[in-house]
Structure 1
Amino acid sequence: MGEGKLQPEARQKLECVDLSSDDEHKLAAQIRQACLESGFFYVVNHGIDLQFINEVFKHSKRFFSLPLEEKMKVLQDKNNRGYTPYAEEMLDPDKQSRGDSKEGYYIGVEILETDTRAKKPLHGPNLWPSSSLLPGWREIMEKYFEESLILSRKLIKLLALALYLDESYFNKPGMLDDPMAALRLLHYSAERSIPELGILGAGAHCDYGMLTLLATDSVPGLQICRQKDATPQIWEDVLPLEGAYVVNLGAMLERWSNGLFRATLHRVANPGKERYSIAFFMEPNFDCLVECLPTCHSDINPPKYPPMISGHYLLGRYIVTHNGFDSNAKSS
């Protein structure tokens, strides 16, 4: 159950993208470099107020501090909404001896049962904790969801430029006009991770979708492995940066870019302190066809991946993650 080598002295130096700049092409070039090198970067001056982010963390802690019996009343449903208990997920079963030492709460796009879209997998109404227990909780989370969606679209425009595409490329009908976006609140226990024994806050994995925005508290734990196929794997710390988001790419963007941009392997190795984070996953439409972009292949560099339907891919990944046999986690 060897887990590789950790290099704390080489703490990860990520690109820091300042969105207050008006030079979109300069920002796109900076993002391109980050996506080629590590698939991770910081974003600052992003437009979401820090006080509001702190308020969202406060409300997240309120939910996780509820008695287990209350949290289980909103247990995750078939559409991937609601509460996931400790150890429910195992992201790296080849190396983990037990499930992740975290609990979570998923919030998706709110879709009423009467909406025709509710017939699709991963679509439907959210599960919400009782307003009498957590007054104002739903409203805070819905506002944060919308602000995260706006920021994600700004970054996707820059990613299009970084791929030498028109900035509106991903605005085409059927791509991201009805995204399977998801907000996930995460709470890690204070148990110290022991990677060599297969005990981790979150096992090593690559994200599944297009783009992830991660807000963290001040407790470290996130680590990345630039070369997922290396032996041994080298793990580097990604330290919290106040007021910044950590942005990383998912497997769909890696496939869209024909492997040019990287969905980087990452994990959470808890330092022995309770830890909170908030992730926003930007996923394409359920029926979106993900295939190699025209700027990312040629006669001498043919497409490496077959076309796929976004929703079908996500369904498969969620199923194996919750059943503890995600054999594709490191090859996405």
Structure 2
Amino acid sequence: MGEACIPTADLSPFVREDEDGKKKAMEAITQACSEYGFFQIVNHGVSLDLIKEAMQPSKTFFDYSDEEKSKSSPSTNAPLPAGYSKQPLHSPDKNEFQLSLKTLPSSDGLLLESIINECLGLPTNFLKEFNHDRSWDFLLALRYFPASNNDNNGITEHEDSNILTFVIQDGVGGLQVLRNVEWIPAVPRGHYCGQWKRCYPGNSVFKCTKI
């Protein structure tokens, strides 16, 4: 029996209006949501070149000195006082990718929301009406120092509190998804992943570990 892998959902049939393709994609997404709570997305309409270009400003920022990065640290009484969550002064020339990436995954998010709504057999637009407040959509960049043989930098196992999360990985990997009692690696494939939770209790548990 081969090693388990994260399911892949192809969104192109929903662009081409391919009914047979839509049926296969919905079957794959239904299985992925019920068994994993996580799946990788291909042919999603977001340019891979754009994704690569958008990752570069993040790398540039984290290569700055600690003194320079500290200028973007949140205040001590901020809701999320960790990390660098304020817009730094050098960011205006990098908003092109930020704005594009924020818009395109949102459109894919609405598409997936409607697909999952149908997969679950819910009333038409149930999830859209339940989750209609777009002000809670946000874009976040995370980066971790390379792990040595003696430590394990990353995020411990957890569940996100929102309904749908998109994850864009670099080529390093480290993301893992819990299925039953087995941690399955989400191998980077140059696309992004969708994480779905709530309607399938016990799924969508994942962590980041060293490679």
Same fold (TM over 0.5): yes
Change beyond 3 A, Cα 1:236–1:175:
closer
**C-alpha separation in 2, matches of 1:148 and 1:70:** 30
Distance in structure 2 (CA, Å) of the matches to 1:48 and 1:141: 13
What residue is the counterpart of 1:128 in the other structure?
A: 87
CA distance in 2, matches of 1:13, 1:167: 32
1:20 aligns with 2:12: yes
User: Counterpart of 1:130 in structure 2: which amino acid?
Assistant: L
Partners of 1:154 and 1:192 in 2: how far apart?
A: 40
Structure 1 residue matching 2:194: 3-state secondary structure: strand
Contact 2:7 2:40 (8 Å CA) reproduced: yes
Please say if residues 207 and 263 of structure 1, whose CA atoms lie closer than 8 Å, have aligned partners that are also in contact: no
Equivalent position of 1:266 in the other structure: 206
Contact kept in structure 2, 1:38 and 1:262, CA below 8 Å? no
Question: Normalising by the residue count of structure 1, what TM-score does the alignment of the two structures yield?
Answer: 0.55
Could you tell me which runs of 5 or more consecutive residues in structure 2 were left unpaired when the two chains were aligned.
none
Matched residue SS, 2:139: strand
Q: 1:190: how far off?
A: 1.0
Structure with more strand by fraction: 1
Q: Is the helix fraction higher in 1 or 2?
A: 2
For this pair of structures, how many residues does the alignment match? 203
Cα deviation for residue 152 of structure 1 reads 1.0
Report the counterpart of residue 185 of structure 2 in structure 1: 237
Pick one of 188, 195, 207 that aligns with 1:248: 195
Larger Rg: 1
Give, as a single letter, the amino acid of the residue that structure 1 aligns with 2:165: T
Using the size of structure 2 for normalisation, the TM-score is 0.84
Does residue 1:49 correspond to 2:2, yes or no? no
Matches within 5 A, 1:73-92: 73-77=71-75, 78-80=78-80, 84-85=82-83
Quote how far apart the aligned CAs of 1:76 are. 3.0
Match of 1:186 in 2: 142
| Aligned mates of 1:68, 1:33 — CA distance in 2 | 44
Structure 1, unpaired ranges of 5+? 1-8, 86-104, 107-126, 228-232, 272-332
After superposition, the CA RMSD in angstroms is: 2.4
Q: 1:193 to 1:40 in 2, by over 3 A?
A: farther
Alpha-carbon contact 2:35-2:203 (below 8 Å) kept: no
Task: Check conservation: 2:34, 2:203, Cα contact below 8 A.
Answer: no
Q: Matches of 1:57 and 1:156 in 2, distance apart?
A: 26
Aligned to 1:141: 98
